[in-house]
Structure 1
Amino acid sequence: MIQQIDYGAVAPVLVTALGAVVVLLAGAFEVPGRVLGWLTAGVSLGGLVAVFVLAGGGVRTTFCIPETLRDGGAASCSYSADNFTLVFQGIVLAAAALVVLLSLADLTLAKVPLGEYYFLLLCSVTGALTLVAARDLVLLAVGLETLALPVFALVALKRYDGRATEAAVKLLLVSVASAAVLLFGISLVYGATGALHFDRIATAAVTPELAPVLTAGIVLVICGFAFKVAAVPFHAWTPDVYQGAPLPVAAFLSVVSKAGGFAGLGLVAALAFPGQGDVWGPLLAVLAALTMTVGNVLALRQTHAVRLLAWSSVAQSGYMLAPLAVGEETVTVAVASMAGYLGFYAVMNLGAFAVVTGFADRRQGREGEEGNLLASYRGLARWSPAEGLALAFFLICLAGLPPGIMGLIAKVVVFEAVMTGPVVWLAVVMALNTVIGLYYYARWAILLFAPEAEASEGMPRALSFRLALGVTALGAVVLSVLPNLLLHATLAVG
């Protein structure tokens, strides 16, 4: 029987996949890098338009089991364009467009093959879009690896920089290990349930003899995703990779790659294993507590801006894991809370990376790696007011302090989700970690207003840089005033 495909449902994936091919061919014909960048940004925005069009209709599914093969079971489908999918696809595509703008503004990328760079970027975005729409374990694994594999090359594209090669090797080794763990877990789940589609796994009757096999499979699947989201103790690659990669790629890892990992966790928890919350709930609670604590404590001693953002990203992963720790009781609400926090975090973190990228380019060739030490930001708000004030606001948002209300609302959302479950102790850990995070965010923000140590030239004024910074700053201000604009969309996920 011929498989019927709903091309409308998969439109965002098709747009980015075809766009990747077009960019690769254009690069082969030596189209200027700036043109390739704007073309890539246009592809991302085209995918975003497709997401908004789909949001106006109902749930659309495709790649479903043919009726003749259902054996009385449900009409299980591998791909679903529902509210969960569309929210995460919107976050991924919007973040990807901003990363492309940062790439256009990053002078260090002038020495890399830009056709390959933008092609790999779109391939990774295609994987993320597929992952968040997956409703079976095979498509989930394929989407995750399609997201991850191009990132190795993106990290290593600065071939003249030894740090980039080292970072790519570290990321490759960790990702290969995580993929092996994930696939082994999937094989155990399939062996215990005889199913791959989430709805069939959730309703499968597992014999007592196979229950331990299912438990082991669930644990391994969770650990496989924990590698991707840099959860402790699977986090060690994060600071070195962020520092070695081009800054736009680090921003991509911190938001788009993280969104894919958390989407996968939310899918398997809410749809595949809703009845095994007693297995994955305590595991995620421990991972969340360790991740936010280690990330915040190690961020305290950082003197380099990118490494501080890397450890901050680890800590933020802990906050996003926390709602899922409630187990099966309120898992749909927990997934919605996680999605809301991720949306707020994407705006705040991409904004911070925008300023850091522009700052690094200003110092390029004069101070080398030392140009991004925190001490170099002294007085930024005095000699470059727009960028300094924007960075200070992003840092305040990440800390969850007024007037950065969006950061405060994000933390309130996950606190509320945690308090509704059996892990109230985790809320205490979150509160303590929020206080720890205040110190290093505030320290950097205060430094921006200190008297400058030397006269400094202004920040870059490229159109792409101004757009990236302007969009993220406007987004942070709007979401601080009207956080419900995002919360209404993410509540639909649950």
Structure 2
Amino acid sequence: MTSLVQSVDWWAIAPPGIIAVLALAVLVTDLFLPETRKEPLGWISTAGLVLAGLSLLPLTDGDRATFCVNGDGGACSYSADHFALVIQLLVIGGALLTALLSMSAVKELRLPAGEFWFLLLASAAGAALLPASRDLATLVVALEVASLPAFALVGIKHGDRRSSEAALKFFLSSVTATAVTLMGVSFVYVTTGTLHLTEIAGRLDHVDGQFQTLAQAGVALTLVGFAFKTAAVPFHFWVPDTYVGAPLPIAAYLSVIGKAVGFSGLILVTAVAFPSYGDVWGPALAVLAALTMTGGNVAALRQSATRASSAVRLLAWSSVGQAGYLLVPIASAAHTDTPERAVGSTVAYALMYAAVNLGAFAVVVLVARSKPLNRVADYRGLYAERPVTAVLLAFFLLCLAGLPPGIIGLFAKVTVFSAAVDGGLGWLAVIMAVNVVIALVYYLRWTAALFRAPAHAPARATDAPRGEEPATAAPDGVRVAVPVPLTAALALTAVLALALSGAPQLVLRFTGPGLF
């Protein structure tokens, strides 16, 4: 008989719990602050995220679980294991950098401060909960808690047509994907009689007859919602417009935290819940990986060749291509005897991608302060104006391309390539190699533009990318001051990327056993 009495390990749930409590505190505090004195909300949110990050330290001494059925010996709904802690570190670190990028943006864009910080923290709480979730119900709830505030954040620029359109497109496509996922979860529950991931894995082995088809359909449909969050083709169409329409810090947040949510969910349902159905999800994810990396990189290549192309749109398509690389090890996990090693390659690559992509977005936020159109052409001659900033962006782009001195990007791509070969997916490894070459073209094209002679033609309203509203650019020669939080975000991402390139074993160690 199932016991309804459960003990709660408060230390285990501290990381998402602190962020959730902080979100409520910010919302209540906002009620008592006048409109002109809401800047402290940003610093409170940043300090709270630091505290949430520090709460991970006591959990590193061993795996801890809570909300267990029939005591500690039964299946648990929350597990603070190695995998959960690594992804929570990524989520909290990404949210902290997003908060630093948002300090000046909230004021300059005249965004409602209380609502902005509450929504950001609420989304981060859901994202931190998801990797520790060990049943399908908690996974879906965490996915929605991370997603729903993100819709509002994308459309928070009141009166901006692009922002509203992006939020609506993001919301409608996400709701559709979630509905399909819930249908898949219901199929899995009907065939297994449980929602706990470890129990599902054991009971799916004994499903036969007419229920086997239902179980296969449930496995496939359950993956849809997580594939949407990863921006995998054909669930990627919302990405470019959403990134361009959202405030720049939120675009950075979605590019990293959104992917962390999607990929951690995919890893949990495939490697933990559905390992015996690898013949169903393995080939499907392999095809998705090939389509995603090819579609993203080809679209980014076309963007880089257009004079009026948006730097944010280019990064959006680049993130789609990077999602394809992240899918490769998960697909290969279905064809190897060491699935933990395979999915560990995805975790290592995600950590590298988070550091350097947030760094690239930090530079984009800085450049947008003086050149609001934020075209790729606006970065020509950046070295002459801001040498340090140009060198940092070049380093981040080389990391994404996998070229020295971006050693961590090179090593991360090698681990993903090795995972494909070890899983017997040689054809996918070949497609990945071709896509790496395609990506080199647009990354190097952008990098080279940074060190060319600056173009002196002033930005004009008619230069706005097609379908995007023009903005007023700052006069040529005007050097806009960089806020301290933005400088801190640039410094943190630069130090982190340099440290990982100097000591890639800091993330490559996750490609070994013991992840779960």
Which residue pairs with 1:432 in the alignment? 434
Which residue pairs with 2:271 in the alignment? 270
Contact 2:344 2:510 in 1 (8 A): no
Which residue pairs with 1:99 in the alignment? 98
Deviation at residue 294 of structure 1 after TM alignment? 0.2
Taking the TM superposition and a 5 Å limit, the aligned residue runs for 1:214-225 are 214-225=215-226
Which residue pairs with 2:38 in the alignment? 33
Residue 447 (1) aligns with residue 449 (2):
yes
Contact 1:105 1:358 in 2 (8 A): no
Q: Distance in 2 between matches of 1:436 and 1:314?
A: 14
Aligned amino acid, residue 320 of structure 1? L
Question: What is the SS of the residue equivalent to 1:80?
Answer: strand
Contact 2:106 2:112 in 1 (8 A): no
Contact 2:109 2:157 in 1 (8 A): no
Contact 1:358 1:460 in 2 (8 A): no
Q: Distance in 2 between matches of 1:33 and 1:269?
A: 44
Which deviates further from its counterpart, 25-34 or 407-416?
25-34
Deviation at residue 42 of structure 1 after TM alignment? 1.0
Q: Distance in 1 between matches of 2:297 and 2:49?
A: 33
Which residue pairs with 1:160 in the alignment? 159
Taking the TM superposition and a 5 Å limit, the aligned residue runs for 1:233-272 are 233-272=234-273
Which residue pairs with 2:370 in the alignment? 362
Deviation at residue 26 of structure 1 after TM alignment? 1.8
CA 292–459 in structure 1, closer or farther in 2 if over 3 Å, else same: farther
Residue 66 (1) aligns with residue 70 (2):
yes
Question: What is the SS of the residue equivalent to 1:106?
Answer: helix
Q: Distance in 2 between matches of 1:393 and 1:459?
A: 23
Question: What is the SS of the residue equivalent to 1:78?
Answer: strand
Match of 2:312 among 293, 306, 310: 306
Which deviates further from its counterpart, 32-41 or 423-432?
32-41
Which residue pairs with 1:77 in the alignment? 76
Which residue pairs with 1:368 in the alignment? none
Residue 462 (1) aligns with residue 470 (2):
no
Which residue pairs with 1:315 in the alignment? 321
Aligned amino acid, residue 465 of structure 1? L
Which residue pairs with 2:16 in the alignment? 13
Match of 1:50 among 40, 50, 55: 55
Deviation at residue 180 of structure 1 after TM alignment? 0.2
Deviation at residue 381 of structure 1 after TM alignment? 1.1
Contact 2:106 2:113 in 1 (8 A): no
Deviation at residue 298 of structure 1 after TM alignment? 0.4
Q: Distance in 1 between matches of 2:116 and 2:144?
A: 18
Q: Distance in 1 between matches of 2:228 and 2:45?
A: 28
Taking the TM superposition and a 5 Å limit, the aligned residue runs for 1:377-392 are 377-392=379-394
Question: What is the SS of the residue equivalent to 2:65?
Answer: strand
Q: Distance in 2 between matches of 1:26 and 1:352?
A: 33
Contact 1:121 1:154 in 2 (8 A): yes
Match of 2:341 among 329, 333, 341: 333
Match of 1:413 among 409, 412, 415: 415
Contact 1:137 1:198 in 2 (8 A): yes
Contact 2:231 2:323 in 1 (8 A): yes
Which residue pairs with 2:294 in the alignment? 293
Which residue pairs with 2:469 in the alignment? none
Residue 344 (1) aligns with residue 352 (2):
yes
Q: Distance in 2 between matches of 1:411 and 1:208?
A: 42
Question: What is the SS of the residue equivalent to 1:160?
Answer: coil
Match of 1:475 among 479, 488, 496: 496
Q: Distance in 1 between matches of 2:106 and 2:478?
A: 16
Q: Distance in 2 between matches of 1:289 and 1:361?
A: 37
Deviation at residue 245 of structure 1 after TM alignment? 0.2
For 1:53-109, what per-residue CA distance to the aligned partner results, in whole angstroms no more than 9, with x for missing partners?
Answer: 211x21110001125xx9xxx610000000000000000000100000000132675
Contact 2:341 2:511 in 1 (8 A): no
Question: What is the SS of the residue equivalent to 2:121?
Answer: helix
Q: Distance in 2 between matches of 1:18 and 1:446?
A: 46
Aligned amino acid, residue 374 of structure 2? N
Deviation at residue 421 of structure 1 after TM alignment? 0.6
Q: Distance in 1 between matches of 2:367 and 2:202?
A: 53
Contact 2:342 2:511 in 1 (8 A): no
Q: Distance in 2 between matches of 1:279 and 1:348?
A: 34
Contact 1:108 1:246 in 2 (8 A): no
Residue 179 (1) aligns with residue 178 (2):
yes
Deviation at residue 490 of structure 1 after TM alignment? 5.9
Q: What is the total number of aligned residue pairs between the two structures?
A: 482
CA 26–451 in structure 1, closer or farther in 2 if over 3 Å, else same: same
Question: What is the SS of the residue equivalent to 1:5?
Answer: coil
Contact 1:13 1:126 in 2 (8 A): yes
For 1:176-232, what per-residue CA distance to the aligned partner results, in whole angstroms no more than 9, with x for missing partners?
Answer: 001101100100111111111011100002122211111111111112211111100
Question: What is the SS of the residue equivalent to 2:384?
Answer: helix
Which residue pairs with 1:136 in the alignment? 135
For 1:130-166, what per-residue CA distance to the aligned partner results, in whole angstroms no more than 9, with x for missing partners?
Answer: 1110000000000000000000110111012110000
Which residue pairs with 1:404 in the alignment? 406
Aligned amino acid, residue 424 of structure 1? G
Deviation at residue 417 of structure 1 after TM alignment? 1.0
Alpha carbon RMSD of aligned pairs, Å? 1.4
CA 361–107 in structure 1, closer or farther in 2 if over 3 Å, else same: farther
Q: Distance in 2 between matches of 1:490 and 1:104?
A: 36
What are structure 1's unaligned runs of at least 5 residues? Answer: 365-370
Taking the TM superposition and a 5 Å limit, the aligned residue runs for 1:102-141 are 102-106=101-105, 110-141=109-140
Contact 1:275 1:328 in 2 (8 A): no
Aligned amino acid, residue 22 of structure 2? G
Contact 2:335 2:424 in 1 (8 A): no
Contact 2:12 2:59 in 1 (8 A): yes
User: TM-score normalised to the size of structure 2?
Assistant: 0.91
Aligned amino acid, residue 449 of structure 2? L
Which residue pairs with 1:22 in the alignment? 25
Question: What is the SS of the residue equivalent to 1:453?
Answer: coil
Which residue pairs with 1:210 in the alignment? 211
Q: What fraction of aligned residue pairs are identical, expressed as a percent?
A: 49
For 1:325-345, what per-residue CA distance to the aligned partner results, in whole angstroms no more than 9, with x for missing partners?
Answer: 111523211111100000000
Contact 1:274 1:328 in 2 (8 A): no
User: TM-score normalised to the size of structure 1?
Assistant: 0.95
